[in-house]
Structure 1
Amino acid sequence: MTTDEHGTPAATCDHALCHVPVRSAGPVQVLRVFRRRDGSRCAVAFSTAEALHALLGAGQETAELTEPALRALTEPLGIRHLVLDPTIVAPPAATDRAPIRPAPSPSGPAQPLPGPAEQPSNPVLTRSVA
């Protein structure tokens, strides 16, 4: 699924060239992948190199791919999400669940302790080691 930064379906690059982040590994370039807030992996693409550099830094290497080519690279890896023109990179969300209280007296079942609200599943990216 191709989404924008808010999780809504996005216009696609189709056969236009998209700019994608890569890193060099010897003589080849390796596509960088990221994680969504829910922990699932995703690919990112930008409509311009300037947008990519604004988010990931001027030193980020780029390659130009069409959306079908990008999907052909990522689908065998189980990556089903493509985020076009993301504008935010966030720290990883907490994945721990609220602890369970010890069982109370026989008058009722154990209740979970109050904890942070469950993070919504949206395509806000977290940095991933590629």
Structure 2
Amino acid sequence: MAQLLYGEDPEPSDRFPAGPLYVPVRPGLCGCAARLFRTPLGELTAVGFTSECRLTATLGPDQAWIRLAEPALRALTAPLGVTAVTVDPQFTAPAPTPVAHEIPALRIARIA
């Protein structure tokens, strides 16, 4: 993660609220649930976008979303052990498609 430098600020990488975010959601049993993603290193992260345009450019026009403040998103995902919030991610990979592989038959040799 790149650190942002702000002049003579002694603590440039302190967290600060990102403001209202467009948070991708998926349908759940009791309404909708925030979608969680993985960073390139495999860490779970909550994701929020600063505009609807950025969300649809990254996740597509059919992605459902809700508006949440960044502290509310952190509070929502903290019980799940998610401490990271990624704002405006630009790169995504398509969901993996299942590949049908034929499992070769195992041959067991008997030793007499």
What TM-score do you get using the length of structure 2 for normalisation?
0.67
Q: For 1:33-112, list aligned pairs within 5 A.
A: 33-90=36-93
- Contact preservation (8 Å) 1:17, 1:67: yes
Relative to structure 1, is the Cα distance of residues 75 and 9 closer, same or farther in structure 2, using a 3 angstrom cutoff?
Answer: farther
The residue number in structure 2 matching 1:19 is 22
Q: State the distance in 2 between where 1:62 and 1:86 align.
A: 15
Q: State the distance in 2 between where 1:88 and 1:38 align.
A: 14
- Counterpart amino acid of 1:78? G
Q: State the distance in 1 between where 2:75 and 2:46 align.
A: 11
- SS in structure 2 at match of 1:23: strand
Residues paired across the two proteins, number: 86
Q: How far 1:25 sits from its partner (Å)?
A: 2.2
The residue number in structure 2 matching 1:122 is none
Gaps of 5+ in 1: 1-6, 93-130
| Structure with the greater alpha carbon radius of gyration | 2
1:26-77 Cα offsets, whole Å, 9 max, x none, are 5511100001111110011100011001100000000000000000011111
Q: State the distance in 1 between where 2:44 and 2:18 align.
A: 23
1:60-99 Cα offsets, whole Å, 9 max, x none, are 000000000000011111111111101001369xxxxxxx
- Counterpart amino acid of 1:60? Q
Q: State the distance in 1 between where 2:45 and 2:18 align.
A: 20
Q: State the distance in 2 between where 1:23 and 1:72 align.
A: 18
Q: Percent identity?
A: 37
- Counterpart amino acid of 1:50? C
- Give 4+ residue runs of structure 1 displaced > 3 Å after superposition: 9-13
- Counterpart amino acid of 1:24? P
Q: Give the alignment's Cα RMSD to 1 decimal.
A: 2.4
Q: State the distance in 2 between where 1:59 and 1:87 align.
A: 17
